[in-house]
Structure 1
Amino acid sequence: MSEKKIANRFVLILLLAIGINVESYAESDFQSWNALALTGDVDDKGQWQFWFDGHLRFKEDASRLGVSIVRPGIGYKLSNDTTLWLGAARVTIETDDRSIDEDRLWQQATYSLGRFMGGTVSARSRLEQRYRSEESDEVGHRFRQFVRWSKALNENWSMVVWDELFFGLNNTDWGQDSGLDQNRLYVGPAYQMNEKWRVEFGYLNNYIDLPGRNTNAITNHNLSLTFFGSW
């Protein structure tokens, strides 16, 4: 794929994200999102990969836990640029009066899109099957498209911009609606601590669409902190 085509797609995604995030919001919250992400080789050849990410997200001005996620997976490397993955997740959502448990199966492809504006562009396409067995037998199917741009500033520091769009593929009686579900737009620096560890910390704007409500949407202004480890 040519750099011009990559640039056009990347700009289109950013414009779409900006268009989504500048809408007027009926509700907003400051939150703190914290994560640990681990990847590495399972076998000596490095063809099989492991994946793990865990999250603690604090809401209401970062004063109380809102969401926790544990998400393991395994992948198969097709090439240096493309890996196919599958895994599961347990998501716990804390509301005012109860905890909601959601189990997920997920399949994804991670791949490189080349270079743009002096940096590298990578992407992730993910399908999810969402289960809330305590509430319903219906399964929510969702598609997520993630695009990330990173540019090195020096040996240790780099700048990162990424965006992820969520689309519901069906309606469920427990609350998922088809169509645009949410968008996440992140901007911030990254610091390479050593050969295995990197930390990214910055601003994450989380737009959430709320069809079926009198209000159009909410937004969360998040302080995002993620530690990445690779083996």
Structure 2
Amino acid sequence: MHRIWIPAAVALLAAAPAHAQTEQNGQAWFAVNAVTALSDKVDATLELHTRVDDSLTGLTQLLVRPSVSYKLNPNLALTAGYLFFRHDPEAGRTTNEHRVWEQIGYTILSRPDGLRLTGRTRLEQRFREGGETGWRVRQQVRVDAPLHTASKVNAVIWNETFFGLNDTGWGPRAGFDQTRTFVGLNLPLIDRVRLEPGYLNQLIARPGPNAMNHVLAVNFNVRL
């Protein structure tokens, strides 16, 4: 295993702020990410996500996220997109949120043996009918490492931390919002399709006890 792998994993796991009191919940997240090339430098992506709670009684969240990316060079890309987010809890009011977002994606390290360290910085503008615009920034750092020389299976760990930039009347607040840490595998299935299953820990800041979700996360990545 690469010498950088364990220190990087420890650093990403430690990135989540510690809180003494949290409410523990179980969830399952399923996603399909489909990417197609519009030209040598432009990609179009459509992401579909569903999330259910630990009762598994039905859909609680649906996310639809189309986007377009422009590659400035092999290690730097600019992306702009839209997101529709529907939250339909088993008990409570259904809400719809719309987001416009911009992102810079970059490669920090890429070695011939397959080890990759990448990052992305995303700015979101969040809208609900009749409410103020909520501004939020998201920072992700990700490590991909082959399990052994010439392996097509990668170990994956990433952390993404969210910070609100302003207060709104409908929910979002300025300051630390949440952090997510994922540990899993990236597996080839068939040509241009990879499966990424793993465990995701989500810590959400709230006015009362914070929430911690223990998530079974399964992602299908498709290149069309």
TM-score of the alignment, normalized to the shorter chain, above 0.5: yes
1:225 corresponds in structure 2 to: 218
Is the CA contact (8 Å cut-off) linking 1:58 and 1:65 kept in structure 2?
yes
Name the residue aligned to 2:160.
164
- Structure-2 change in CA distance of 1:25 and 1:63 (3 Å): farther
Q: Give, in whole Å, the separation in 2 of the partners of 1:24 and 1:203.
A: 22
Indicate the larger mover: 171-180 or 94-103.
Answer: 94-103
Q: 1:33 aligns with which of 6, 29, 32?
A: 29
Aligned residue in 2 for 1:205 = 201
Gaps of 5+ in 2: none
Query: Shift of residue 8 of structure 1?
Result: 8.6
Inter-partner Cα distance in structure 1 for 2:127 and 2:80:
16
The amino acid of 2:223's aligned partner reads S
Structure 1 unaligned residues grouped into runs of 5+? none
**Is the 2:12–2:158 Cα contact (8 Å) retained in structure 1?**
no
**1:33–1:57 Cα contact (<8 Å) kept:** yes
* Number of the residue aligned with 1:80: 74
Contact 1:102–1:131 at 8 Å: present in 2 too?
yes
Report the counterpart of residue 102 of structure 1 in structure 2. Answer: 97
CA separation in 2, counterparts of 1:207 and 1:41? Answer: 35
Q: Secondary structure at the match of 2:61?
A: strand
1:144 corresponding residue in structure 2: 138
Give the Å deviation of 1:119. Answer: 2.0
Find the residue that maps to 1:214 and give its secondary structure: coil
Q: What does residue 16 of structure 1 align with?
A: 15
What is the RMSD computed on CA atoms of the aligned residues? 2.4
Structure 1 residue 93: Cα displacement: 0.8
- The match for 2:185 among 186, 189, 192 is 189
C-alpha offsets along residues 181-229 of structure 1, whole Å, 9 cap, x if unaligned?
000000011211233111010100000000xx332x1100000000001
Asked if the contact 2:131/2:168 (under 8 Å) is kept, the reply is no
CA deviation after TM superposition for structure 1 residue 137, in Å: 3.1
Percent sequence identity over matched residues? 31
- Length, aligned pairs only: 218
Asked if residue 175 in structure 1 is aligned to residue 171 in structure 2, the reply is: yes
Question: 1:63 aligns to what?
Answer: 57
Asked whether the equivalents of residues 53 and 70 of structure 1 are also in contact (C-alpha less than 8 Å), the reply is yes
Contact 2:119 2:139 in 1 (8 A): yes
| In 2: Cα distance, 1:195 partner to 1:122 partner | 23
Partner SS, residue 91 of structure 1: strand
Q: 3-state DSSP class of the match of 1:65?
A: coil
CA 1:53/1:146 → structure 2, altered by over 3 Å: closer, same or farther? same
Question: Could you tell me which residue of structure 1 aligns to residue 106 of structure 2?
Answer: 111
Higher deviation after alignment, 161-170 or 8-17:
8-17
Equivalent of 1:131 in 106, 112, 127: 127
